[in-house]
Amino acid sequence: MIAAMRNASDSCCQPPAEAPGPAGDGTGHGEVAPVGAARRVAAHAVHIPGGRALVGTDRRELADDGEGPVRRVRLAPFMIGATSVTNAEFAAFIEATGHVSEAEQWEWSFVFWSDVHRDAGPTDGVVGSEWWRRVDGANWREIHGPGTAGVWHPDHPAVHISWNDATAYAAWVGGRLPTEAEWEHAARGGLGDVRFPWGDEEPDDETFLPCNIWQGRFPQNNTARDGHAGTAPAASFAPNGYGIYNMVGNVWEWTADDFRIRSLKKRVKERLRTMQGYKLAKGGSFLCHRSYCYRYRIAARSGISPDSTAAHQGFRVVWDVV
Ligand SMILES: [Ca+2]
Ligand SMILES: [Ca+2]
Ligand SMILES: [Cu+2]
């Protein structure tokens, strides 16, 4: 593990700086499911038809993220969790495997400033994104830091999950992380070239649409008009056409893919050089707002180092159809 990479990202609602971290001890993560591991397809998983699928968009908003152009691909059918992996599901994995999550190994994670527990004392912020505070002892169990187990709810998405944690969980259930193409295809819900899982209608501070994002002025004032200042239960709001919940908003979701951008622009190439080994996350989170992080669109993308964790980072699992 390279300390300088942890939590690095340059999406504005992600912790973006090269935050210093303690040296990892190189143990504990990367548990893999034993050969012949049981296949535990989540009861809520839904079948997604294969065939023609779209990835990306020609209506680029953040072109330097590699959102476009739209590409046409063919996919095999697959199963995908109707929700991101919940705390209850992740707890079962921890109990069964003894997996030590990466935030626990590092003994800290990033928490949004207004959620930091009073007893946490002074915390370090991220330069340029001071709303992200480095909180000792924050992890999937104590999402706002030590003593905050009361805000842990079994039906909410598991958070502070690194790509390495997510991959280990997926192997344990006999699944895997989705590719970007699979993730977008599932998010589109059969609607085709749409911006959001419900279509093209834009959510804003007054318009209620089925997603959990930020309302108000970021990062000072979240009016939480959608009912949730932090995570919402994983199955909140109306599902999309495939019966899938919260693909956009709520928590960022890891994919299996490396973060790549097809671009010849010098500034994009230079940025990518600082993101070697980063993984692709999709969907945005409860912290996204159009004014500064318009990444709750299906085609939006973010690159994050695989050992990074934060209070809005989760994942969902896909299973091959056998
Ligand atoms: Ca919200
Ligand atoms: Ca999501
Ligand atoms: Cu965002």
- Residue-range domains of the chain with CATH: 45-107+153-320 (3.90.1580.10)
pLDDT band (50, 70, 90) for residue 117 = confident
Ligand 2 centroid–CA 23 distance in Å is 30
**Where is average pLDDT lowest: 75-84, 233-242, 265-274, 287-296?**
265-274
User: Which ligand is nearest the CA of 227, by number?
Assistant: 1
Residues in the chain, overall count:
322
Ligand 1 centroid–CA 137 distance in Å is 25
Are the beta carbons of 251 and 231 closer than 8 angstroms? yes
Residue 308: CB atoms within 10 A of its CB come to 30
- Distance spanning both ends of the chain, measured CA to CA: 35
Burial of residue 264 (CB within 10 Å: 0-12, 13-18, 19+) is exposed
Ligand 2 centroid–CA 91 distance in Å is 19
pLDDT band (50, 70, 90) for residue 264 = confident
- pLDDT of the residue at 6: 61
Q: Is 177 helix (H, G, I), strand (E, B) or coil?
A: coil
What's the CA gap between 17 and 5, in Å, rounded?
Answer: 9
- pLDDT of the residue at 214: 98
- Residue 305 confidence (pLDDT) above 60: yes
- Computed from CA positions of residues 180, 185, 188, 189, in that sequence, does the dihedral angle turn out positive or negative? negative
Enter the pTM of the model.
0.92
User: Which ligand is nearest the CA of 208, by number?
Assistant: 1
Ligand 3 centroid–CA 289 distance in Å is 7
User: Which ligand is nearest the CA of 313, by number?
Assistant: 2
Token pair recorded at residue 37: 């591991």
pLDDT band (50, 70, 90) for residue 26 = very low
